[in-house]
Structure 1
Amino acid sequence: MNFELPLIIEDEEYNAQSQDELSHWHNSFELIEVVEGKFYCTVDGSQFLISQGDICIINRNKMHHICNEKKTNLKCRKRTIIFNPDYYIKDQHIYEKYICPLLEKDAFAHIQFHMDKGIGLDVYTLMKELEILQREK
């Protein structure tokens, strides 16, 4: 199968020293899987800890940034999938049923799951399938 997936997959490793990314926002959803270690994530001014096995979904147009846990010698790794929901406008049924509810102004700023059960496992499985498709392109 040869097609372009409308997404970006990034693997990032933060070293043992404190690392921080600049606060930013974009017109895309961001799915973060913590592969190793712990990160502090701040979304619209609310800070929370995400640890190995956690998945965090950040809604589009939300100011956010991530930094590794300070005062630790642990290596931290995360995998991020970024996709723009506007791509799905082409299929009006999918867009209206699944995307529009997420785009409502106060739908959510972020959602956090653990990947071993329930919807967290479903999201994790979907992320793995997207990675496989991206590699096959």
Structure 2
Amino acid sequence: MLLLPLFFLGSSGAQAEDEDHRLVCPIMSAELVKKVAAQIKGSGQCQTVCRGCGCKGGPGYRAPGGKCVGFAELISRCGPPPHAGCARECAPVHKSCVGHVLGRAWLKPFAASIGLTVSFQPAAAPEADTSTMK
């Protein structure tokens, strides 16, 4: 299973929370990751400057070199699930990027429509400091 942040394209919420209002990351199979990546390719081009991997809707992982990892290189740079080669941040999506991302409300039915499932776990790192984001 793969762990990815659940911010993709077009949600009204700035961050995904479970019923207890904790940030969560989806646990997704490699097959579902490929389908999601194909669905969102070329979308979500938020030009906002923000800190924290995932703040523009990416997978939410930081490589050892300090750079955020994209969907296409998640497994090659971070290793197989649970992607122990990288730090899982799942930073909240910056408010100006919200219109470029989808959340859990989109992900669950999308997975079901192709016969797959997705579950969620709490984000490992605390929320990013959004007070200095531009």
Common topology (TM > 0.5): no
Question: Between Structure 1 and Structure 2, whose CA radius of gyration is higher?
Answer: 1
Tell which has more relative contact order, 1 or 2 (C-alpha 8 A, sep 6+): 2
TM-score under structure 1 normalisation? 0.28
TM-score of the pair, normalised by structure 2? 0.29
Q: Which has the higher strand share?
A: 1
